[in-house]
Amino acid sequence: MRHLLSLLFAFAFIPAIGYAATRTDQVEAAAKNGKYTYVMFYRANDAATQRMASTIRSQVTENEEKTTWVTVNVRDRKEASLVKRFDASRIPLPAVFGVAPNGAVTGVFRQKVDQAQLTQAILTPKYADMVKALQNQQIAVVCLMPTADTPIPAGVTTLQQNPEFKGKLHRVTAYATEVAEAGFFQRMQVDPTLGAPAVLMFAPPGTHLGTFDAAVSGEELAQELHKSGKCNCSKCQKK
Amino acid sequence: MKLHSMVWKEILRRPGQSLTALLIVALGVSALVAVESVVASSEQRVASQMQQLGANILILPEGVTLQDYHAADAHGRSLPEEYVTRITLAQKVGVEELAPKLSVPAELGGDSIVVTGILPRSEFYKKSAWQSVDLLTAGLSENGVGKKHEGCGGRSCQIATTDKTDLSSYATTRIVHELDMNSALVGADLAKSQGIKKGQGIRILGASFRVEGILPATGTSDDGRVLAHLHRVQELADTGPIVNVIEVMGCCEEAATDLVGELDALLPDARVVTISQIVQTQVTVNRLMNRLSYVIFGILMLIGGASIASVMFANVTERRRELGTLMALGATPGMISRMILLKASTVGVCGGVCGLGLGLMAAYVAGPQFLGVSTNVSMQAVMIGLVVAVIVSLVASYPPARKAAHLDPCLCFQDS
């Protein structure tokens, strides 16, 4: 009886993004359409699950053009790949993951969530790019530029060319003229009316290593990285 | 004839009486020496454990009592593994590392062994990375999740450093960075007894594993175990996502103390204890044993004293004629008194020495066998045991000696 109820519950929450064989397919389809997906995992149709589903539904209804959602019962064998990807059988349930079109997890909320948190999990494309890099164990170097024709700070270029950090850095460049990235500037606490570039450096999983101006040298950035102990470069590994 | 040869002859003539008194004294001293030596060794071990384990916290199923830190997963009860995720996602300040463990019985080469599932750091990083956005937001503001504990090294490094990629470092750090689903680490004792070498294949729980490393000996239960990926162990033992214990490495003692309350609130169905609490329990047990050993020693010394007094009174009564003859031949009351006291002190010293031997033997056998501690002799207990045994023998013999010294030779001959 409980399983039947769970099944009915799951069907009741299938969001209207068109039929797909599995929820994994739905997540992939949403990504192709450039939409964020809220993936909600649950075990039982209890009050917490219903509350969470209701919050997500309201959020998706209000942001229909850029979000969608799927519900996944962790006991559903058809969804084993999705359950395994998010290790959902080992997390407190119900839980919802915000997944960006590029596959980055932009938020995880367990047992209860509000719409403000779900909104926080929607990122600008460049921000999502940076988060994806951090989740791929790379150091993110963010260059926030006033205009598209502003040259990348020389220090950043030097750092990227440093063989010690080869393959370990990911540069994200955003321009104040890009309307879609206004939120990125705001979240990075950089004034979009800036007259000169700003450089921010982050280490996985999301440690802010520093904010620098355009005059920062490659040496200074490298020093900051070594100092953080998160560079993983061959020099520091030998110590 | 000299006094000591007279005493010696007397002891040999009536060995039963002397042996009874000697045995009781020996038992008292042996109880004191054995217990005190084991307690002293146990205290030393606790101190070294404390130094090694630092600011660690254990999360155990409710109702589990714990006295041995290294056997924290050997209680047979379990916690849901989601508790580990709950701690990871909570991003509590001061949490440096997490080490959940699940132990299941298995067979290897016909021997019964314990396979312990451990979770590599990479698994936590994956979950920690889900919160990149929260961490980024917090990192750019003054307060928030993922902040460093003031004065400490801060949250653990996300990218593996060399020491954490060396699997054998688990023996000291209790952490591995990566552990393949089909890889295993083997404890030093088990590897030695079964002749297992690094790179070899072993079959446990119906699956094949490649031995990625032999752990150096630690003197703990880990030496006899096989360690494998927690999720592989859960799958093979069909336990579902559970663990027996979650070890939380705090960045410092101060943070660990603060964390206890926070983890208690986060996991209300679990028992959260710090290493210092476990050590405190051990210290309390040691103190109790210490006091108990003195109580037993005191009781046995009282019985021994009473027994010596009774034996010596009987001895004096039995030897009235002999003592009267000695006095008639010119022996002074002082000499008679010294003779009785010398006999008593001989019994006391012999009893003490025998008790010392017995106690040390018991400590050396029982310490490692039953309590898992290698024994160091407690010199304090040895000295106290010997001195008290002699004093009790002398005090207990004083009244009979006094009685013997005041015997009237004429009356002694009349009695006969």
B89 vs B117: which has the higher pLDDT:
B117
Q: Determine the pLDDT at residue A233.
A: 52
| End residue of a domain, out of A97, A120, A143 | A120
Total of domains in chain A? 2
Instruction: For residue B142, count other CB atoms closer than 10 A to its CB.
Output: 6
In this complex, which of A188, A206, A232 lies closest to B132 when CB atoms are compared?
Answer: A206
Q: Determine the pLDDT at residue A68.
A: 93
- Are A41 and A84 contained in the same domain? yes
**Cross-strand partners of B227:** B116, B185
How near does any CA of chain A get to the CA of B366, in Å? 43
Lowest model confidence (mean pLDDT) among A54-58, B43-47, B302-306, B369-373: B369-373
Q: Is B165 on the interface with A (CB under 8 A)?
A: no
Lowest model confidence (mean pLDDT) among B53-57, B236-240, B326-330: B53-57
A-chain residues within 8 Å CB-CB of B100?
Answer: none
B-chain residues within 8 Å CB-CB of A237?
Answer: 161-162
Contact B159 A137 (CB under 8 A): yes
- Are A48 and A76 contained in the same domain? yes
B150 vs A45: which has the higher pLDDT:
A45
User: Which pair of tokens denotes residue B173?
Assistant: 């750090």
Q: Determine the pLDDT at residue A20.
A: 47
User: Which pair of tokens denotes residue B207?
Assistant: 């699956």
Interface of A with B in 149-178 (CB under 8 A): none
- H or E segment and range at residue A144: strand A139-145
Q: What is the mean pLDDT of chain B?
A: 79
Q: Is B15 on the interface with A (CB under 8 A)?
A: no
- Are A113 and A220 contained in the same domain? no
Please give the Cα distance from A131 to A63 (Å, whole number): 21
B-chain residues within 8 Å CB-CB of A85?
Answer: none
B407 vs A143: which has the higher pLDDT:
A143
3-state secondary structure of A103: coil
- Are A134 and A195 contained in the same domain? yes
Q: Determine the pLDDT at residue B209.
A: 93
Give me the mean pLDDT over the B103-132 stretch: 86
> CATH code at A186?
3.40.30.10
Q: Is B126 on the interface with A (CB under 8 A)?
A: yes
Give me the mean pLDDT over the B146-167 stretch: 47
Give me the mean pLDDT over the B52-56 stretch: 61
SS3 assignment for B254-293? HHHHHHHHHHHHHCCCEEEEEHHHHHHHHHHHHHHHHHHH
Lowest model confidence (mean pLDDT) among A11-15, A114-118, A142-146, B281-285: A11-15
Please give the Cα distance from A74 to B81 (Å, whole number): 15
- Are A31 and A62 contained in the same domain? yes
Nearest CA in chain A to B128: A205
Interface of B with A in 219-248 (CB under 8 A): 241
User: Which pair of tokens denotes residue A124?
Assistant: 């600008």
Q: Determine the pLDDT at residue A114.
A: 92
In this complex, which of A108, A237, A238 lies closest to B130 when CB atoms are compared?
Answer: A108
| % chain A with pLDDT above 70 | 86
Q: Which of B38, B27, B44, B39 is nearest to B385 (CA)?
A: B27
Is the confidence at residue B17, as pLDDT, over 90? no
- Are A30 and A95 contained in the same domain? yes
B248 vs A9: which has the higher pLDDT:
B248
Is the confidence at residue B143, as pLDDT, over 50? no
Where along chain B do its domains lie? Answer: 3-48+283-415, 63-268
B-chain residues within 8 Å CB-CB of A198?
Answer: none
- Are A74 and A169 contained in the same domain? no
How near does any CA of chain B get to the CA of A231, in Å? 8
Give me the mean pLDDT over the A211-228 stretch: 84
| End residue of a domain, out of A93, A120, A147 | A120
Q: Determine the pLDDT at residue A19.
A: 44
- Are A147 and A88 contained in the same domain? no
A60 vs B365: which has the higher pLDDT:
A60
Give the model's confidence band at A18: pLDDT under 50 very low, under 70 low, under 90 confident, else very high. Answer: very low
- Are A94 and A129 contained in the same domain? no
Give me the mean pLDDT over the B252-257 stretch: 66
In this complex, which of A92, A97, A206 lies closest to B146 when CB atoms are compared?
Answer: A206
Contact B140 A137 (CB under 8 A): no
Query: In which domain, by residue range, is A145 found?
Result: 125-238
Is the confidence at residue B35, as pLDDT, over 60? yes
Asked if residues B198 and B211 have their Cβ atoms less than 8 Å apart, the reply is yes
- Are A181 and A218 contained in the same domain? yes
3-state secondary structure of B375: coil
Give the model's confidence band at B326: pLDDT under 50 very low, under 70 low, under 90 confident, else very high. Answer: confident
B-chain residues within 8 Å CB-CB of A187?
Answer: 136-137, 140
Please give the Cα distance from B196 to B342 (Å, whole number): 63
How near does any CA of chain B get to the CA of A98, in Å? 9
Q: Determine the pLDDT at residue B10.
A: 77
B57 vs B154: which has the higher pLDDT:
B57
Lowest model confidence (mean pLDDT) among A81-85, B99-103, B396-400, B412-416: B412-416
Contact A202 B136 (CB under 8 A): yes
Give the model's confidence band at A55: pLDDT under 50 very low, under 70 low, under 90 confident, else very high. Answer: very high
B-chain residues within 8 Å CB-CB of A189?
Answer: 140
Give me the mean pLDDT over the B115-144 stretch: 76
- Are A40 and A108 contained in the same domain? yes
Asked if residues B89 and A110 have their Cβ atoms less than 8 Å apart, the reply is yes
A-chain residues within 8 Å CB-CB of B251?
Answer: none
Give the model's confidence band at B167: pLDDT under 50 very low, under 70 low, under 90 confident, else very high. Answer: low
Give me the mean pLDDT over the B190-199 stretch: 90
Contact A120 B130 (CB under 8 A): no
| End residue of a domain, out of A100, A120, A140 | A120
Asked if residues A126 and A174 have their Cβ atoms less than 8 Å apart, the reply is yes
Contact A107 B158 (CB under 8 A): no
Asked if residues A133 and A140 have their Cβ atoms less than 8 Å apart, the reply is yes
Give the model's confidence band at B55: pLDDT under 50 very low, under 70 low, under 90 confident, else very high. Answer: low
Give me the mean pLDDT over the A60-86 stretch: 90
How near does any CA of chain A get to the CA of B130, in Å? 5
Contact A187 B140 (CB under 8 A): yes
A-chain residues within 8 Å CB-CB of B85?
Answer: 87, 90-92, 110
Give me the mean pLDDT over the B293-297 stretch: 83
Please give the Cα distance from B202 to B186 (Å, whole number): 10
Give me the mean pLDDT over the B367-386 stretch: 75
Give me the mean pLDDT over the B364-380 stretch: 72
Give me the mean pLDDT over the B255-276 stretch: 81
The residue of B87, B93, B133 whose CB has the most chain A CBs within 10 angstroms, and thus the best one to mutate to test that interface, is B133
Q: Is B158 on the interface with A (CB under 8 A)?
A: yes
User: Which pair of tokens denotes residue B393?
Assistant: 């023998």
In this complex, which of A92, A123, A134 lies closest to B129 when CB atoms are compared?
Answer: A134
Q: Determine the pLDDT at residue B125.
A: 78
Give me the mean pLDDT over the B5-20 stretch: 78
Q: Determine the pLDDT at residue B237.
A: 93
User: Which pair of tokens denotes residue A115?
Assistant: 């719409």
A vs B, Cβ pairs < 8 A, gives 104
Give the model's confidence band at B154: pLDDT under 50 very low, under 70 low, under 90 confident, else very high. Answer: very low
Q: Determine the pLDDT at residue B161.
A: 47
Which pTM does this prediction carry? Answer: 0.66
Give me the mean pLDDT over the B73-94 stretch: 81
Q: Determine the pLDDT at residue B54.
A: 55
Is the confidence at residue B132, as pLDDT, over 70? yes
Give me the mean pLDDT over the A93-103 stretch: 93
Q: Please spell the DSSP secondary structure of B195-254, one letter per residue.
A: T--TT-EEEETTEEEEEEEEPPP-SSGGGGEEEEEHHHHHHHHT--SEESEEEEEESSHH
- Are A136 and A216 contained in the same domain? yes
In this complex, which of B86, B131, B241 lies closest to A205 when CB atoms are compared?
Answer: B131
Lowest model confidence (mean pLDDT) among B56-65, B110-119, B169-178, B390-399: B169-178
pLDDT digits (tens, 9 = 90+) for B200-220: 999 999 999 999 888 888 777
B-chain residues within 8 Å CB-CB of A205?
Answer: 125, 128-129, 131-132, 135, 146, 158
pLDDT digits (tens, 9 = 90+) for A183-199: 888 888 888 887 888 89
Give the model's confidence band at B413: pLDDT under 50 very low, under 70 low, under 90 confident, else very high. Answer: low
Pairing state of beta strands A169-175 and A36-42?
Answer: unpaired
Contact B135 A108 (CB under 8 A): no
Q: Determine the pLDDT at residue A99.
A: 94
